[in-house]
Amino acid sequence: MTTTDAASASASFSHSFSDRTRGEDREWLSTAVDLAWRCPPSPRAFNVGALIVDADDRELARGWSRDTDEHVHAEESALARLAPNHPRLPGATIYSSLEPCSVRKSRPATCTQLIIASGIRRVVFAWREPSLLVEDCQGAELLRDAGIEVVEMPEYEPLVKAANAHLFGEA
């Protein structure tokens, strides 16, 4: 096989892998968005769903905002269901309907910090957190700065906004 053939085969493989991953991302992110509808309503918090999926496309954990207490965030809830040193976390992806928080008043660690500490190397989310409750969320940037792959899928934004209509006077 020539160098050109090898490069072509590699590009072909990476293109098909990217397409397959994008399809899987859509399925898992749709589930995270659906989980946002399970959140008990709060006039001071977003409804967010999250799930963690291992490298073999198996769900490891899921959570949503306020599912265990009034202050728990979705990513925090999903991560809490796994041991901190779970062997599949470094190859896992966390899917969240909203950009992981970078500022937090109710807990000492933000969701961004929790994700970085977990060893997860990939985050997929639907909607960048608007400056409604927190000014200028930097979750995506902080995750990228930590070497984590971040994928934004803004086509899901309308669905996430609908799950959060209560914050925009539309409920």
On whether the CB atoms of residues 93 and 61 are closer than 8 A, the answer is no
DSSP assignment of the chain equals --HHHHHHHHHHHHHHHHHHHHHHHHHHHHHHHHHHTTSPP-TTS---EEEEE-TTS-EEEEEETTSSSTT--HHHHHHHTS-TT-TTGGG-EEEEEEPPPS--SSSSS-HHHHHHHHT--EEEEEEPPPTTTSSS--HHHHHHHTT-EEEE-GGGHHHHHHHTGGGGT--
User: Among this protein's residues, is 75 annotated catalytic?
Assistant: yes
From the candidates 75, 76, 99, 129, give the one annotated as an active-site residue: 75
**Residue 18 burial (CB count, 10 A):** 10
Active site residues: 75
